[in-house]
Amino acid sequence: MTMQRKRKIESFVALSLSTIAALFGLFWLVFILGDVLVEGIEALSPALFLNDPAPPGMAGGGLRNAFVGQLMITFFATLIGVPVGVLGGTFLAEYARGRKIARMISILSDIMVSVPSIVIGTFIYAILVKPVGHFNGWAGAVALAIIMIPVVLRTTEDMLSLVPWTLREAAFALGAPYYKVIIQVVYRGAAAGILTGILLSIARVAGETAPLLFTSFNNSYFSMNMNEPIASLTVSIFQYAMGPYDTWHAQAWAASLMITLFILMLTILGRVIIRWRYGKR
């Protein structure tokens, strides 16, 4: 009897600890999101979106340059990263399906997804900043694209593999060449999944700071020239938060709020699409 009691108590204690662990995890989520929300909303103002930075310490500045710069860098990163990723994933799931090379690239991509992004920043610095002689927006976009490619590539591969092989055989039987089967049958079947992969990869790079520090750098003036240093929200947050001025800190909170909302929206949208297309997961 006592033995049984002991085991029950032990079980109860262990399960309570797990519950506390889950609450602990949720606690941080609420704490961080709540803090960003409260501090961010307090600092939000039209000036943030409409004005360029004021001289350090002066009130009234905004981050218009950083919003535009962030959009441009992310846009061009997507423009480079998505086609390469989707095509690469197509090769793995279609032409090289079941081959050793496909398996190897797939595993290496998984590893690349988690490789420190700051290392990619140093790599791009060496090949796109040092030879040119100055920081530039293109370097930032390429750095982000390199982070995106493995993400898009892996999701594309997975999503294409979910399309039943019999569907392709049906198309082959009609005499369609493989490229037509891929574009008109397989891509259509996997469109929602590929789109989700793209959304999640944008969410992934939109918050990246480390690879931009020594590629696109920063620019306190409004600039849309990708050949010059260009401001980004994340690098501005880093600079402003580490700076000594309260107005800077407030703007950093507001910028953090905008970035967090953008990324959480993309992440949730991606989940909604997956659930709508592939049922409950």
Partner 1 sequence: MPVLFKKNPVDIVFSVITAAASVSVLVFIVGILYVLFAESSPAIEKFGVVRFLTSTDWDPVRESFGAATSLYGTAVATAISLLIAIPVAIGIAVFITEIAPDFLKTPIGVAIELLAAIPSIIYGMWGLFTLAPIMADYIEPALQATLGRVPGLGILFEGTPMGIDLLTAGIILSIMIIPFTASISRDAFNLTPEVVKESAYALGATKWEVVKNVVIPYSKLGVFGGIVLSLGRALGETMAVAFVLGNNHQITSSILDAAATITVTLANEFTEADTDVYLASLFYLALILFVLSFVTLAVAKFFLLRAEQRTSR
- Of 48-56, 71-79, 188-196, 250-258, which segment contacts partner 1 by CB under 8 A? 250-258
Binding mask 210-229 for partner 1 (x = CB under 8 A): x--xx--x------------
Q: According to the binding rule CB under 8 A, does residue 91 interact with partner 1?
A: yes
- Crossing angle for the helix pair 64-90 and 233-242, to the nearest 10 degrees: 130
Shortest distance, position 53 Cβ to partner 1, whole Å: 18
Q: According to the binding rule CB under 8 A, does residue 90 interact with partner 1?
A: yes
Shortest distance, position 33 Cβ to partner 1, whole Å: 8
Tokens 């002066």 map to which residue?
58
- Of 35-43, 51-59, 66-74, 187-195, which segment contacts partner 1 by CB under 8 A? 35-43
Residues 132-171 contacting partner 1, CB under 8 A: 146, 149-150, 153
Q: Tokens for 117, please give them.
A: 């992004």
Looking at the Cβ atoms of 50 and 104, the one nearer to partner 1 is 104
d(CA 22, CA 166): 43
d(CA 92, CA 161): 9
Q: Give the count of residues interacting with partner 1 (CB under 8 A).
A: 93
Q: According to the binding rule CB under 8 A, does residue 230 interact with partner 1?
A: no
Q: DSSP E strands: which ranges in 6-154?
A: none
* Among residues 56, 57, 79, 110, the one that binds partner 1 under rule CB under 8 A: 110
d(CA 159, CA 89): 9
Q: According to the binding rule CB under 8 A, does residue 277 interact with partner 1?
A: no
Q: According to the binding rule CB under 8 A, does residue 203 interact with partner 1?
A: yes
Distances (CA, A) of 38 to 42, 215, 243, 257, 265: 6, 32, 21, 9, 18
Q: According to the binding rule CB under 8 A, does residue 241 interact with partner 1?
A: yes
* Among residues 109, 136, 201, 216, the one that binds partner 1 under rule CB under 8 A: 109
Distances (CA, A) of 259 to 84, 198, 206, 264, 279: 26, 17, 8, 9, 29
Looking at the Cβ atoms of 226 and 241, the one nearer to partner 1 is 241
- Of 44-52, 59-67, 184-192, 248-256, which segment contacts partner 1 by CB under 8 A? 248-256
* Among residues 44, 45, 158, 172, the one that binds partner 1 under rule CB under 8 A: 172
Distances (CA, A) of 155 to 62, 143, 150: 37, 20, 9
DSSP-assigned letters across all residues of 128-191: IITTTTS--HHHHHHHHHHHHHHHHHHHHHHHHHHS-HHHHHHHHHTT--HHHIIIIIIHHHHH
* Among residues 47, 64, 123, 222, the one that binds partner 1 under rule CB under 8 A: 123
* Among residues 50, 58, 79, 107, the one that binds partner 1 under rule CB under 8 A: 107
- Of 48-56, 62-70, 186-194, 206-214, which segment contacts partner 1 by CB under 8 A? 206-214
d(CA 113, CA 104): 14
* Among residues 148, 231, 259, 274, the one that binds partner 1 under rule CB under 8 A: 259
